[in-house]
């Protein structure tokens, strides 16, 4: 018994006649009858009994059809599964990101993607750039969003977007009259800085030290959102990325640009030794599109 014989048998049983089966298969009725006889020879028992002009399946044929029908049901499910894979509707994805992207920017992308891909499972760990890089390099994460790292050959790394650093403070602060700020303007003010898992707070501290910026008091927090909240409530001046600062502008937080370019370069990381899945590629494209839109929004703000 071969696949063609089983296919013809299934069509005859499901349609109820040789004529209908021949039409569905686009072959002649004699060809259908020939394949049925060959199948009967191969299985060793009769499949049909002729009663007048009708073929009636034997009890053995009915039992066989039950098994065949299960196979075809499984094939239909397999076909739908393949269609879902083709259309990026199945899979599991892990997107590892640094904290400043995890509050609003990335969730808006992931949320929309999840709605468009209801059968895709998603995991979004929030970690340091070092952890993200290791996770991507070892295949534990499909996509990583972190800061630039020097001479890192363990992953495929590409610039995603550049985020300027700005100073933020409450309404009525002593610095409110300044259109832009010099780093030296921060001398003597309470300064809110970040102390999280990434390196850029250390780099910022080096910049402040090189400009002899000595705050009156330093408050260290874990995320840029907490820094903005503290600044909004009068705890001091915070130095954060412009993307986070813009989220707080409607709440009344004042944003001040520096007269020199201080910025963060966000990188998109991918595994170097693992082939990218279609669904991962689709999400990566969405992230890149959102990054371009964010950079345009930032340029428009700075203009």
DSSP E strand stretches across the chain: 48-51, 54-57, 91-97, 120-123, 143-147, 155-169, 180-181, 190-194, 217-221, 237-241, 254-258, 263-271
Global pTM value = 0.67
Q: Provide Rg for the chain, Cα atoms.
A: 32
Between CA 58 and CA 50 the distance in angstroms is 10
Average pLDDT, the chain: 84
Pair type for strands 190-194 and 91-97: unpaired
| pLDDT over 70 percentage in the chain | 88
- Name the phi and psi angles at 265, rounded to 5: -100, 110
pLDDT tops 60 at residue 28 = yes
Between CA 204 and CA 186 the distance in angstroms is 13
pLDDT in tens, 270-285: 998 888 888 899 999 9
Across 75-85, average pLDDT: 56
pLDDT at site 277: 86
pLDDT in tens, 50-70: 777 777 888 888 888 888 777
Across 241-267, average pLDDT: 91
CATH superfamily assigned to domain 92-160+265-297: Periplasmic binding protein-like II (3.40.190.10)
| pLDDT over 90 percentage in the chain | 36
| 27-41, 112-126, 167-181, range with the lowest pLDDT | 27-41
pLDDT at site 199: 62
Architecture of domain 3-86: Orthogonal Bundle (1.10)
Structural domain boundaries of the chain? Answer: 3-86, 92-160+265-297, 163-263
pLDDT tops 90 at residue 31 = no
pLDDT tops 50 at residue 88 = no
Same fold? 92-160+265-297, 163-263:
yes
Q: CATH number for the 163-263 domain, one of 3.40.190.10, 3.20.20.370, 2.60.120.330, 3.40.50.300?
A: 3.40.190.10
Instruction: List the structure tokens of 228.
Output: 């903005």
């Amino acid at each position: 018994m071969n696949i063609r014989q089983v296919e013809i048998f299934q069509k005859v049983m499901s349609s109820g006649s040789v004529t209908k089966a021949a039409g569905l298969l686009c072959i002649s009725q004699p060809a259908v009858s020939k394949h049925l006889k060959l199948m009967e020879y191969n299985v060793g028992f009769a499949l049909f009994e002729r009663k007048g002009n009708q073929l009636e399946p034997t009890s053995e044929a009915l039992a066989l059809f039950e098994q065949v029908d299960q196979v075809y049901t499984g094939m239909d499910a397999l076909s739908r599964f393949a269609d879902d894979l083709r259309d990026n509707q199945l899979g599991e994805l892990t997107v590892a990101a640094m904290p400043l992207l995890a509050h609003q920017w990335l969730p808006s992308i992931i949320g929309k993607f999840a709605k468009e891909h209801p059968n895709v499972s998603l995991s979004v760990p929030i970690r340091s750039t070092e952890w993200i890089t290791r996770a991507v390099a070892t295949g534990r994460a499909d996509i990583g969003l972190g800061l630039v790292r020097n001479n890192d050959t363990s992953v495929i790394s590409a610039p995603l977007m550049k985020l300027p650093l700005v100073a933020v403070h409450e309404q009525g602060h002593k610095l409110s009259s300044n259109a832009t700020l010099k780093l030296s303007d921060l001398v003597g003010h309470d300064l809110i800085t970040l102390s999280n898992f990434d390196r850029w707070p250390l780099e910022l501290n080096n910049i402040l030290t090189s400009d002899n910026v000595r705050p009156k008091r330093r408050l260290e927090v874990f995320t840029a959102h907490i820094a903005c909240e503290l600044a909004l409530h009068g705890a001091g001046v915070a130095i954060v990325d412009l993307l986070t600062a813009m989220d707080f502008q409607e709440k009344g937080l004042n944003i001040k640009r520096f007269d020199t370019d201080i910025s963060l370069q966000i990188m998109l990381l991918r595994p170097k030794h693992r082939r990218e899945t279609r669904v991962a590629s689709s999400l990566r494209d969405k992230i890149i599109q959102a990054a371009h839109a964010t950079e345009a929004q930032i340029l428009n703000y700075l203009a």
